[in-house]
Amino acid sequence: MKHQSAFVFLLVIFSAGLLSAQSVSELEARLKRAGTKNEKMTLSYQIAEKLLASNPTKAATYAQQASQLATEIGDKRREADAAYLGAEAYYRSRNYRAASTEYQHAWNSARNYGLRDVALNSTEKLQDIALKQNDYREALKWSRETVNYLKTSGGGARSGGDAVRRLENQLAAAEADNRTLREQIAQLTGQTQVLETTYQTQLKEVQDKTQQELTQKEAAISQISQEKQRLDSIARVTGSNLEFMTKEQVVAKAVLAEQEREIQTQKRLLAEAQLAQERGDYLRNILALVAAFVLVLAGLFYFRFRAKKRAANELAEKNILIEEEKKRSDNLLLNILPPAIAQELKTRNKVAARKYDQATVMFTDFIGFTNVAERLSPEMLVEELDFCFSNFDNIIGKYRIEKIKTVGDAYICASGLSDMNASPSDMVKAALEIQDFLLHVKAERQSQGLPYFEARVGIHTGPVVAGVVGDKKFAYDIWGDTVNTAARMEEACDPGRVNVSEDTYWLTKYEFEWQHRGKIAAKNKGQMDMYYVTSVKQY
């Protein structure tokens, strides 16, 4: 049984690898057939993403290709993303030099065009690479770059500014520790100079003493030599009369000569022993000084290493705090504004109004909201609205549709704004899913004997103007006749249905099944052609 389980596990892994390989192969085949630079850039980026975990070297090649194509077509966001992806690939293959170059490329592109997330992630990786290579000066440089960028880019939450100030205080403390270390080094260097001066003094004293003793020995040898010469002259003078010397005189003279030779030998041995002892003392002093100097240097290097490691750990901790505060402030801002608008607001501290020639607007409104509200407590009413609107948020999020606002029981969203999805068919699909969701909730509430909501949905496509109004509490909104027309579509709709204008119908007619309602009077609009969406067309 165990062998069968192992076989099934290996088979699943092999199948997953095969599917991944086929997916990459399909993308590479599509890349060869691609005709536009935009399509080639997108496919190269997707291939690099898929190969990042399995083949980072090849992923880096495709990421560089995507970055170059993004530069050529002027897509600054994708250029920075592709450069960052290539840096990640080099980082995983431990090619830190190439990774550092690509991270700096991503940092420069993101900083110049306000892509804050890519810029801060790049500086974090550059700090990590510097720490891996024990280049603490480079790590400190990128940490300061991060702080400066957070200051100049506008920050966000008050806690983010506090984290920056705390990091600056820690950096100041680290600089103070470095100054203290330099003072200790200077003090130890002064002690070393004192030891060297003492050594030179002792060496000079030994040399003077040795020279003095050598001078004394040379004087004694000179005296002995003179005495020997005197005796030799006496021997020459008395040589001729040697035969007249008595036996006792001859023996005494021989004994005297032997004693003289022994004295000379003892003096020579004594001198050699003293010289050897002096040399030994000199070598021991030298070795002791060298050992002391080595210990001092080792201590200095150890304390310096500990100080650098402590500073690096503190910098890493502060970088983590800054990153957490940055993510928290960014998420808070993105809950209020669309990503592109939030980025512009952080970069320029204001948002210019923009006109979009083809935006699709959807209005939803609950039927009999007042009657349902009278049957529920305020708490339960708010809880029910939150439940419905949260599910609406999840549905439109799948289609990259931008939520504009809620007004009482009305829910307003739009697509085709900024870099969001511009396909009207996705808005129609989202509207059908919202009605399906409300239908299931209705069945559940009816079975429990509880009140429920039914909604009308209206959709229209046309030009709008979008922007941010207010100085204290930011509000992103859209204006124009398209918004009013979408509201008229919702007013003329039956409960549980999706009512679409003629303009939206012609843009999506081949993807859905329709029920033409003919011309219907709309407030301040006159007679307008309207269509009910019945279902998605099946092929």
Average pLDDT of the residues of the chain? 79
pLDDT of residue 78: 83
**Residue 115 lies in domain:** 17-154
Whether residues 137 and 184 fall in one domain: no
Cβ burial, residue 539 (10 Å; 0-12/13-18/19+):
exposed
Average pLDDT over residues 25-39: 86
Assess if residue 384 is contained within a domain: yes
pLDDT of residue 505: 96
Whether residues 429 and 303 fall in one domain: no
Q: Helix, strand, or coil here: 94?
A: coil
CA distance 371 to 444: 19
Token couple for 129 = 């690479």
CATH number, residue 93: 1.25.40.10
Assess if residue 485 is contained within a domain: yes
CATH number, residue 473: 3.30.70.1230
Whether residues 129 and 27 fall in one domain: yes
pTM for this one? 0.43
Count structural domains, the chain: 3
CA distance 29 to 63: 17
Q: Model confidence at 57, in pLDDT bands (50, 70, 90)?
A: confident
CA distance 273 to 172: 62
Whether residues 99 and 147 fall in one domain: yes
Assess if residue 2 is contained within a domain: no
Q: For residue 77, give every residue at least 6 positions away whose Cβ sits within 8 Å of its Cβ, in sequence order, or none.
A: 113, 115
What is the percentage of the chain residues whose pLDDT exceeds 90?
23
The residue out of 328, 353, 384 marking a domain boundary is: 328
Whether residues 115 and 52 fall in one domain: yes
Q: Model confidence at 177, in pLDDT bands (50, 70, 90)?
A: low
Assess if residue 167 is contained within a domain: no
Judge whether residue 12 has pLDDT over 60: no
The residue out of 297, 328, 359 marking a domain boundary is: 328
Whether residues 243 and 351 fall in one domain: no
Cβ burial, residue 501 (10 Å; 0-12/13-18/19+):
buried
CA distance 157 to 330: 8
Whether residues 407 and 528 fall in one domain: yes
Assess if residue 307 is contained within a domain: yes
Q: Model confidence at 2, in pLDDT bands (50, 70, 90)?
A: very low
Q: Any idea which residue has 């006109």 for tokens?
A: 355
pLDDT in tens, 218-271: 676 677 667 666 656 655 654 544 444 555 666 676 777 777 787 888 778 888
CA distance 534 to 530: 13
pLDDT of residue 425: 94
Which range among 1-5, 410-414, 501-505 shows the weakest confidence by mean pLDDT? Answer: 1-5
pLDDT in tens, 511-525: 999 999 999 998 888
Judge whether residue 6 has pLDDT over 70: no
Assess if residue 7 is contained within a domain: no
Which range among 345-354, 431-440, 460-469 shows the weakest confidence by mean pLDDT? Answer: 345-354
Whether residues 432 and 516 fall in one domain: yes
Residue 3 phi, psi dihedral angles, 5° rounding: -65, -40
Whether residues 354 and 478 fall in one domain: yes
Whether residues 204 and 316 fall in one domain: yes
The residue out of 295, 328, 361 marking a domain boundary is: 328
Average pLDDT over residues 357-385: 89
pLDDT of residue 236: 61
Whether residues 466 and 392 fall in one domain: yes
Whether residues 385 and 429 fall in one domain: yes
CA distance 330 to 62: 30
Average pLDDT over residues 105-117: 83
Q: Model confidence at 536, in pLDDT bands (50, 70, 90)?
A: very high
pLDDT in tens, 127-161: 888 888 888 788 888 888 887 787 776 544 333 44
Assess if residue 166 is contained within a domain: no
Q: Between these two residues, 469 and 508, which has the higher pLDDT value?
A: 508
Assess if residue 172 is contained within a domain: no
